[in-house]
Amino acid sequence: MTEPQKAPGKRRWLSGVRLVVAVAVAAALASAGVTALLVNIMERKQEARNPFYRVVELDDTITDPAVWGKNFPLQYDSYKRTVDQQRTRYGGSEAVARTPTKADPRSVVAQSRLEEDPRLVTMWSGYAFATDFREERGHAHMLEDQVFTERQHVTAQPGTCIHCHGSVYVPYKKLGDGDLIKGFEKMNQLPFAEARKLVDHPVSCIDCHDPTTMQLRVTRPGFIEGIAALKASQGVPDFKVNEHATRQEMRTYVCGQCHVEYYFKGKQKRLTYPWAKGIHIEQIMAYYDEDGHTDWTHKLTGAKVLKAQHPEFEMYNQGIHARSGVACADCHMPYQREGAMKVSDHHVRSPLLNINRACQTCHKWSEAELLSRAEAIQTRTFETRNIAMDALVDLIHDLQNAQKAGVSDEALAKARDYQKRAQFYLDFVEAENSMGFHADQEAVRILGNSINFSRLGQNALRPEGGASTSPDTRPQGAPGPVPPPAEGTR
């Protein structure tokens, strides 16, 4: 027997009830979703309004980054990652195991550059770098690696070295009874071991940030004086970096405090940046020529020569990124999102290890394409660097033979001067930690000049003195050297 069908009116009533229930449920879900969204928005706005929580009171005496990290845990967390060792194709370091000793407790070091390229030993013969030179490690290692390098055993390094290897702002102030510059001058003259006792940490938050406002600041006297000299050479007198620099400039200047060419001036070992004539290599070379400074006498040739340090700031300023207003921090400390907050990544490292945030913010190509382009630039630089290295080693060997053969003092002096220039130009690119990427055309131009100086040095040793084609003896009407472009110190 079949069940009787429901009346049409009842069916319509049931359908209406279902529709009302469905609408009510949908409205409730929508209301809950909107409420959750509004709550999330309010939370994020609150986060953005309060970028940090004041757990501890910071002042101008706290050097320990862990204390700063209580207020800024996100930045401190990334800062701690600078202990890692990851190599790119032409830079960075690998973790090389070693057996700790009482004199050197390190169980891991970076790979030796001298073992990778023995020609460096020839270039630096008679200098401490020919004894020990390794790939740079992250900021977390910058102090201990300077303390335990074998270079400390073959030369009496001064306290000046601490300027860029430790958190020196507070020690300088203490030594100078509150005067930063006076403390700087005192520490420069201390033996390295004595200066080391005054420093507790590698680069720390206080070295780049004002503890009250968190604004960027320059604390290294070498840069304060160096940038003032550079600006004066450009017609800007009395430049005070912490007062006159823009915020974007400061995002480069805080890095330029240490990533620069420098030398120890006079008996006081005052750390000096040779920028009084400019920061192009020709201007730096002219400064050294006028000052008369050389770093050591080459053991194999007797030439008085120079050691370039790590002129990233000088080289970067000749590149397209500086000309486009890009700061060091834009690539090496790119912004990252943490909830509603945008913070700088304090895991300072090669952009090639962080292409997505370091490069793709501006360059809309794949990571593989951007890596390929960067490595192509570096490969071309590296190939030219090898040619320049071979040319320099050939000149050094020719000078050795010429000395044994009794070549005239005049010819030897001329060849030695060319060696100084060839060596410094090559080392300027070798010591600069981007393998040409910061300013690719400038790097290859400098290496080309190094090759030419080596060739001119070899010519000078010929019996007839060689047929020089240096800029000073070009045929009449021949094009002269291209003057350096306008300075760009963003």
pLDDT tens track for 358-394: 999 999 999 999 999 999 999 999 999 999 999 999 9
Class of residue 132 by CB neighbours under 10 A (exposed 0-12, middle 13-18, buried 19+): middle
Instruction: Confirm if 277 and 287 have CB atoms less than 8 A apart.
Output: yes
Cα–Cα dist 299/260, whole Å = 26
Please give the structure tokens belonging to residue 487.
């300075």
In the block, residue with structure tokens 């913070």: 343
The fold adopted by the segment(s) 370-473 is Butyryl-CoA Dehydrogenase, subunit A; domain 3 (1.20.140)
6 confidence band (pLDDT: 50, 70, 90) = low
User: pLDDT digits over 231-260, tens only?
Assistant: 999 999 999 999 999 999 999 999 999 999
pLDDT at 409 over 80: yes
pLDDT at 475 over 50: no
User: pLDDT digits over 410-456, tens only?
Assistant: 999 999 999 999 999 999 999 999 999 999 999 999 999 999 999 99
pLDDT at 92: 87
Instruction: Confirm if 58 and 348 have CB atoms less than 8 A apart.
Output: no
* 335 or 20, higher pLDDT: 335
- In sequence order, the β-bridge partners of residue 270 are 265
pLDDT at 52: 60
Q: Where are the domains of the chain?
A: 65-91+108-352, 370-473
What mean pLDDT do residues 479-484 have? 45
Residue 59 main-chain phi, psi, to 5 deg: -140, -175
Give the distance from CA 273 to its chain's centroid: 15
Looking at residue 21, its amino acid is V
Query: Residue 488 carries which DSSP code?
Result: -
pLDDT at 18: 76
The sign of the torsion formed by the CA atoms of 369, 370, 371, 375 equals: positive
Domain 65-91+108-352 indexed as CATH 1.10.1130.10:
yes
- Rg (Cα) of the chain, in Å, rounded? 30
Cα–Cα dist 462/381, whole Å = 30
pLDDT at 31: 79
472 confidence band (pLDDT: 50, 70, 90) = very low
Among 12-16, 19-23, 145-149, 150-154, where is mean pLDDT lowest?
A: 12-16
User: pLDDT digits over 315-356, tens only?
Assistant: 999 999 999 999 999 999 999 988 878 899 999 999 999 999
Give the distance from CA 251 to its chain's centroid: 12
Instruction: Confirm if 237 and 228 have CB atoms less than 8 A apart.
Output: no
